[in-house]
C-alpha cells in the first residue's frame, strides 16, 4: 500500500527499501513490487531511490538488476565500508546499463556509511565514483558497530563530522541519520536544528509526518531572506562601482557573505520561508 501512495507526501526523493525493512522471506516479492512501482507514471516526475541489499548477500545483485532496468534515479548502497564497495557497485551498474540500453552514467549512487570502517574510509568512499551524489550516515548500525547506543547525539559526533567533511571535500551532499521515534516532534526538531547548523544537506526520513517538519526547519526565516536580499543588492551595487568589499549598516560584506546570502535565497526558492 505504501508503494502506491507514498508520492502524495511530496518528499524530495522517495526511497524504496529492499534491505533491513524487508524480512528474508519477502526479499523476492519486495523486489518485484519495487520493480513495478518504479515504472508507475506517478513516479516519473519524482526522484526515486532504492536501498538495495549489499552485493555480498544473495540478494544484492538481483536487486540491482531489477532497479537499474526499471529506471531508478539513485541506488543507495547500505553498509558501505570501503571505496572498493562503491567501485564494485559501479562496475555492475555500468554493465547493466549497457545490457538494457540505458544511458551509461545515468544511474546515480548514494553510499550509506554504517560502521567504524565506513567512517574511517569516508573520504575514499566519497571520492570513489563520479556517480555518487551523496553519502549518508546510518546511525543504528553505526552505534551497534561502535558498541554503544543512540542517546543525546554525542555518540554520533565524530561520525557526523567525518561524513560531513568527506562530503564537502568531494563536493557531494551529506545526509544525516534516521530519527526513529516518529511521535517525538520536539526531539526530531532538536536533532534537525543541530544537523542543519553543522552543514548537512538533509536527512533520511522514515515517516511522512517528518517531511514538512524537516522542510520547514531547513527553510530560512523571513528575517534571513530580507537580510540576504539587502546583501545581494549591496553587492551588485558595489560591483557596478568596482568595489571588492562593500559595507551594509557598518558590516563588511565580502565574497563569503555574498555567497551565503545567495544560498539562503536559493533555499527560500526551494522551500519557502520558515513558518
Ligand atoms: C534502521 C533502518 O534501516 S531505517 C530504514 C528502514 N525502515 C523504514 O523505512 C521504516 C518505514 N516507516 C514505517 O514503517 C512507519 O512509518 C513506522 C513503523 C516507523 C511508523 O508506523 P506508524 O506509526 O503506523 O505510522 P503512521 O501512523 O504515521 O502512518 C500514517 C500513514 O502513513 C503511511 N506511512 C507511514 N510510513 C510511511 C513511509 N515510510 N512511506 C510511505 N507511507 C508511510 C502509513 O501507511 C499510514 O497510511 P494510512 O493512513 O493509509 O494507513
Ligand atoms: O540507512 C539508514 O538511514 C538507516 C539505517 O540503515 C541505519 O541507521 O542503520
Ligand atoms: Mg542500517
Q: What is the pLDDT of residues 104-115, one digit of tens each?
A: 999 999 999 999
pLDDT band at 243 (very low <50, low <70, confident <90, very high): confident
What is the spatial distance between Cα 39 and Cα 50, in angstroms, rounded to a whole number?
A: 13
- Residues listed for the chain: 275
What contacts 114, CB < 8 A, 6 or more positions away? 78, 79, 80, 137, 138, 140, 141, 142, 145
* Atom 2, ligand 2: residue with shortest CA distance: 138
Among 21, 208, 209, name the best residue to mutate to test ligand 1's pocket (greatest count of ligand atoms within 8 A of Cβ).
208
Residues with CB under 6 A from ligand 2: 20, 78, 112, 114, 136, 138-141, 177-178, 204
Grid coordinates of 182: 516518529
Q: Does residue 44 carry a pLDDT above 90?
A: no
Ligand 2, atom nearest to 51 Cα: 1
Among 2, 43, 214, name the best residue to mutate to test ligand 1's pocket (greatest count of ligand atoms within 8 A of Cβ).
2
Indicate whether residue 207 lines ligand 1 (CB < 6 A).
yes
Q: What is the pLDDT of residue 183?
A: 98
pLDDT in tens, 159-170: 999 999 999 999
Indicate whether residue 206 lines ligand 1 (CB < 6 A).
yes
Render 61-120 in DSSP notation, one character per residue.
HHHHHHHHHTT-SEEEESS--SHHHHHHHHHHHHHHHHHHTPPTT-SEEEEEE-SHHHHH
What contacts 64, CB < 8 A, 6 or more positions away? 52, 55, 75, 89, 92, 93, 96
Q: What is the pLDDT of residue 271?
A: 83
Q: What is the pLDDT of residue 70?
A: 98
More confident residue, 70 or 254: 70
Q: Does residue 3 carry a pLDDT above 90?
A: no
What is the spatial distance between Cα 184 and Cα 203, in angstroms, rounded to a whole number?
A: 16
Q: Does residue 46 carry a pLDDT above 80?
A: yes
- Confirm if 8 and 40 have CB atoms less than 8 A apart: no
Our CA angle for 250, 235, 228, nearest 5°, is 75
Predicted TM-score (pTM) of the model is: 0.95
Q: What is the pLDDT of residue 227?
A: 96
Ligand nearest to the CA of 76: 2
More confident residue, 254 or 68: 68
Ligand 2, atom nearest to 112 Cα: 1
Compute the radius of gyration of the chain from its Cα atoms: 21
% of residues, the chain, pLDDT over 90:
90
Indicate whether residue 7 lines ligand 1 (CB < 6 A).
no
- Confirm if 106 and 48 have CB atoms less than 8 A apart: no
Amino acid at each position: 500500500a505504501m508503494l502506491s501512495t507514498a508520492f502524495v507526501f511530496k518528499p524530495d526523493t522517495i526511497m524504496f527499501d529492499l534491505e533491513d525493512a524487508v524480512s528474508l522471506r519477502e526479499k523476492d516479492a519486495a523486489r518485484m513490487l519495487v520493480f513495478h512501482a518504479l515504472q508507475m507514471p506517478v513516479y516519473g516526475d519524482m526522484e526515486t531511490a532504492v536501498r538495495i541489499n549489499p552485493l555480498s548477500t544473495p540478494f544484492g545483485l538481483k536487486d540491482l538488476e531489477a532497479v537499474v532496468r526499471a529506471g531508478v534515479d539513485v541506488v543507495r548502497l547500505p553498509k558501505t565500508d570501503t571505496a572498493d564497495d562503491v567501485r564494485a557497485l559501479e562496475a555492475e551498474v555500468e554493465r547493466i546499463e549497457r545490457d538494457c540500453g540505458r544511458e551509461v552514467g545515468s544511474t546515480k549512487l548514494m553510499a550509506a556509511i554504517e560502521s567504524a570502517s565506513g567512517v574511517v574510509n569516508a573520504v575514499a568512499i566519497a571520492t570513489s565514483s563520479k556517480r555518487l551524489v551523496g553519502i549518508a550516515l546510518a546511525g543504528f548500525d553505526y552505534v551497534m558497530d561502535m558498541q554503544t547506543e543512540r542517546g543525546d547525539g554525542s555518540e554520533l559526533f565524530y561520525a557526523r563530522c567525518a561524513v560531513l567533511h568527506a562530503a564537502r571535500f568531494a563536493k557531494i551532499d551529506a545526509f544525516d541519520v534516521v530519527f526513529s521515534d516518529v511521535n517525538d516532534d520536539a526531539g526530531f526538531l532538536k536533532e534537525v536544528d543541530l544537523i542543519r547548523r553543522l552543514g548537512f544537506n538533509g536527512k533520511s526520513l522514515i515517516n511522512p509526518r517528518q517531511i514538512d517538519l524537516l522542510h520547514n526547519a531547513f527553510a530560512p526565516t523571513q528575517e534571513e531572506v530580507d537580510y540576504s536580499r539587502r546583501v545581494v543588492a549591496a553587492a551588485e551595487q558595489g560591483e557596478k562601482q568596482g568595489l571588492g568589499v562593500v559595507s551594509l549598516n557598518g558590516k563588511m560584506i565580502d565574497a563569503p557573505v555574498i555567497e551565503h546570502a545567495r544560498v539562503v535565497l536559493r533555499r527560500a526558492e526551494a522551500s519557502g520561508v520558515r513558518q
